[in-house]
Amino acid sequence: MTEFWIKPDECQRVLDEVRDVMRDRDRYFQHADSDLNIVDRNSYVDAESKRGDYEASELDQAYRQFFHEGLSPQFDKIVQMIERRIGIMQDVIDYYVSGDAEVQHRSQKQGKDMPVILNADGTAWDKPPSDVDGSLPGGHYQEAPYQFLDTNTPEEG
Amino acid sequence: MANFTAISWENADTFHRSDAHYQGHTAWAMVSPTTGSAVIAAGQLLGRVTDSAALFNEVFAIWTQFEDAYGGSDASQVVTAMSEVARELEAFQSATKMFYDGVVEYDAAVQKHDGKKSDYDTWATDWTDRYSQFLVDQDRPLDEFMTKYRVPKLELHSRLEAERAENEPTAQNIQLDIATARQTLADTLNAIDFDDLTDLRFTIHSAGLDRVDSTEEMEFMLLNNHLFGDQLSAADAKRVAAEIDIESLPYSYIDENGVKWIRTSSGELVVVGSAMDPNLQLRTLEALANDPATKDITVDPVGGSSDTDRNRTDGLLTLSEIFTETSNYYLLEPEISGAGIVLGTAGGLAVVAFTVVSWGQAGNQHAAVMSSSHFLMTNDQIEEAAQWAVDREMTITGVSLAASVAIAFIPGIGAVASFGANFVAGNAISLAMDAAWDNAQTESEMMQEVAVKGLPNAYDPDEHARLIDERNRRFGTGAGGGGGRPMMRSSQ
């Protein structure tokens, strides 16, 4: 008897909730670059500096450089990392729900690792559709499509 | 990142004098750069980043629910999948704080010369007239000169030079300070390295590491809380502890050892179920406030022994009143959505007990902050925190400030009180100041709130200025920290 389990409905609910929050991901940051435009060009030096305009623009550039080369890419990186995890987790759920997981486990005789599929309340789930018998409309069996947790592989930002 | 060139002043010699001003006889005073908009822009950027971080933290909190939804062989990896993202978020926030701190310090360095120009120019114009006249008159015969000035030429010259030596640095310092502040800002911006800022800030205080695992341990924690533990009976503690569901406390991060952590409003990660867990504190306070036998337990807002501490005459507060006030912070962000991450600071507690008065300034301040923020801490834990602050200060400065500074804690805005602590202990303490961020209060707003609450002595601008000077003298004006030193928003 396997010690593993999965509640696909619950997983999907969690994932949907995450997606709901992520819909607002740009809400606060999307106009951040406009903050830079309110900086007075005289913030940097007094008008009596010899090269006032040039030197004043340096602060302006520093702001923009920090934002465009540092902060904004970091924001994008975070969003991409989260989206990647959402996508992978969706693959995980689909993998089990589609029956592909069962097929793979059967074929590899690794039934002991196959999680018991449960309802949200912990009761047994109906047998998932599987294309073992060709019953899954348009279903294409695929081996575990996700590689969730290869933490040794550096992520691209 | 930023590469600023040195400022070159128009027609200035090495003594900061210009022919265009006072005929080159004395340095000229410049108008300070207008830095207010830079601070506003950086503050707005920080606000956007903080709000975005709160949103991502909410994602992390929701993600932890996979613990109850996915029990596959890779379950632990699924649940901890957001850890790496959390590190990147840490860098996102820390970098912005460094940026903001750098701009604020630049602004502070520049603005400290505000208002000096007018007085200086008055002096400089008058002095230049007198000096120029002296240069003309010094060629006159001695008796004429004496008749006019009644002092010998050398004597008058020496007096004028002495006057110049006394006053000229005012103008020279303006230019020097602006140039220095500018370079400091550039250094600060250059020091921002996103890769270096990805370390999560785990607490080092045992109060944030030792967790209760059972109702019995919760009882023990209650009875030993430093603020009113002695007013609780064993029966009270047993009854209240039974009301608290330790297992269901939310968390925002789970480490590879399966330990659950919650991020406090100051960005620190503390172990869920520890005395520094804001959710445990709130639930405990709620249980105490709802219990007929404990709701009227009173807490002395002034537990300190110094006369200044005792100036607070607000009277005693009941636990029920404290809960009402504290929960107002939390109502803004329901616990479930942010899992405590985006909640207001636990420092919203309306009371403070200065339980430690012998640790020197940094120790006292930190103890006070910890006490006001975490009533579940024991006296030993408070003392440990105070010792940590003292040790940290010693490490940073080589000395410990012995003098105790009177800073009062104000219900709802404890951040004012901890402002000094942040400066005195340099980068070490970054606790309740985040309340200022949460409340988006400027310094002037805080002062206004102090006035409204009828606590005019709670905020002392002179002391505030002294602390800033002290801090700058000790640590320099550069940011240079890992974003651990929040600063109050300028009222500019």
Who among B3, B68, B88 is closest to A74 (CB)? B88
In total, the C-beta contacts within 8 angstroms joining chain A to chain B are 193
Who among A49, A69, A74 is closest to B7 (CB)? A49
Closest to B130 in 3D by CA, of B96, B101, B167, B175: B167
d(CA A103, CA B59): 33
Report long-range pairs for B169-172 (Cβ below 8 Å, ≥24 apart). B170/B29, B170/B116, B170/B120, B171/B16, B171/B26, B171/B27, B171/B28, B171/B29, B171/B30, B171/B120, B171/B124, B172/B15, B172/B16, B172/B27
What are the sequence ranges of the domains in chain A? 8-105
Q: How distant, in Å, are the alpha carbons of B248, B436, B481 from that of B433? A: 29, 5, 16
d(CA B264, CA B245): 19
Buried b (16+ CB within 10 A) or exposed e, B433-454: bbbbbbbebbbebbbebbeeee
Q: Is A112 on the interface with B (CB under 8 A)?
A: no
Q: Do B66 and A89 touch (CB under 8 A)?
A: yes
Residues of A in contact with B69 (CB under 8 A): 6-7, 10-11, 13-14
Residues of B in contact with A151 (CB under 8 A): 77, 84
In this prediction, residue B121 carries a pLDDT of 92
d(CA B335, CA B330): 7
What residues 9-68 of chain A have any CB closer than 8 A to a CB of chain B?
A: 10-11, 13-14, 17-18, 21-22, 24-25, 27-29, 31-32, 35-36, 38-40, 42-51, 54-55, 58-59, 61-63, 65-67
Amino acid of residue B90: E
Who among A24, A49, A59 is closest to B38 (CB)? A59
In this prediction, residue B222 carries a pLDDT of 93
**Residues in chain B where the model's pLDDT stays below 50:** 301-313, 329-359, 396-460, 463-464, 467-468, 470-492
Nearest CA in chain A to B31: A46
Residues of A in contact with B31 (CB under 8 A): 46-48
Residues of A in contact with B10 (CB under 8 A): 48-50
d(CA B455, CA B280): 31
Answer for the pair B281, B292: CB distance below 8 angstroms, yes or no. Answer: no
Q: Is A105 on the interface with B (CB under 8 A)?
A: no
- pLDDT of residue A1 exceeding 70, the answer is no
Q: Do B84 and A67 touch (CB under 8 A)?
A: no
d(CA B346, CA B370): 10
**How distant is the Cα of B37 from the closest Cα of chain A, in angstroms?**
5
Residue in this structure with the two tokens 């950086």, named with its chain if needed: B42
Q: Could you read off the pLDDT of A9-35 as tens digits, one per residue?
A: 899 999 999 999 999 999 999 888 887
Report long-range pairs for A22-25 (Cβ below 8 Å, ≥24 apart). A22/A79, A22/A82, A22/A83, A22/A86, A22/B59, A24/B55, A25/A79, A25/A82, A25/B52, A25/B55, A25/B56
Confidence of residue A146 (pLDDT cuts 50, 70, 90): low
Q: Could you read off the pLDDT of A56-94 as tens digits, one per residue?
A: 566 777 888 899 999 999 999 999 999 999 998 998 888
Q: Do B33 and A43 touch (CB under 8 A)?
A: yes
In this prediction, residue B487 carries a pLDDT of 28
DSSP state of B317: E
d(CA B242, CA B231): 18
Dump strand ranges (E) for B41-172: 70-71
Nearest CA in chain B to A41: B34
Buried b (16+ CB within 10 A) or exposed e, B181-208: bbbbbbbbbebbebeebbebbebebbbb
Which candidate in B5, B28, B55 is best for mutational testing of the A interface (most A CBs within 10 A)?
Answer: B55
Amino acid of residue B162: A
Who among B5, B62, B75 is closest to A55 (CB)? B5
> Which residues are within 8 A (CB) of B259 and not within 5 positions of it... i.e. 6 or more apart?
B271
Q: Do B194 and A74 touch (CB under 8 A)?
A: yes
Strand partners, B18: B21
Q: Could you read off the pLDDT of A105-116 as tens digits, one per residue?
A: 766 665 556 777
- In this structure, chain A runs to a length of 157
Dump strand ranges (E) for chain A: 5-6, 116-117
pTM of the model: 0.64
Residues of B in contact with A36 (CB under 8 A): 41
Which candidate in A12, A15, A42, A46 is best for mutational testing of the B interface (most B CBs within 10 A)?
Answer: A46
d(CA B66, CA A5): 12
In this prediction, residue B161 carries a pLDDT of 95
d(CA A84, CA A73): 16
DSSP state of B479: -
Residues of B in contact with A69 (CB under 8 A): 1
Answer for the pair A62, B186: CB distance below 8 angstroms, yes or no. Answer: yes
Strand partners, B254: B260
Q: Do B69 and A21 touch (CB under 8 A)?
A: no
Beta pairing class for B253-254 and A5-6: unpaired
ipTM over 0.90: no
d(CA B172, CA B302): 47
What are the sequence ranges of the domains in chain B? 35-118+176-202+442-459, 215-326+342-410
- pLDDT of residue A129 exceeding 90, the answer is no
Q: Do A50 and B40 touch (CB under 8 A)?
A: no
Answer for the pair A43, B34: CB distance below 8 angstroms, yes or no. Answer: yes
Strand partners, B253: B261
Q: Do A46 and B58 touch (CB under 8 A)?
A: no
In this prediction, residue A92 carries a pLDDT of 86
**How distant is the Cα of B96 from the closest Cα of chain A, in angstroms?**
8
Which candidate in A35, A36, A54, A153 is best for mutational testing of the B interface (most B CBs within 10 A)?
Answer: A35
Q: Do A89 and B36 touch (CB under 8 A)?
A: no
Element (H, E) at B262: strand B260-263
Amino acid of residue B203: T
In this prediction, residue B330 carries a pLDDT of 47
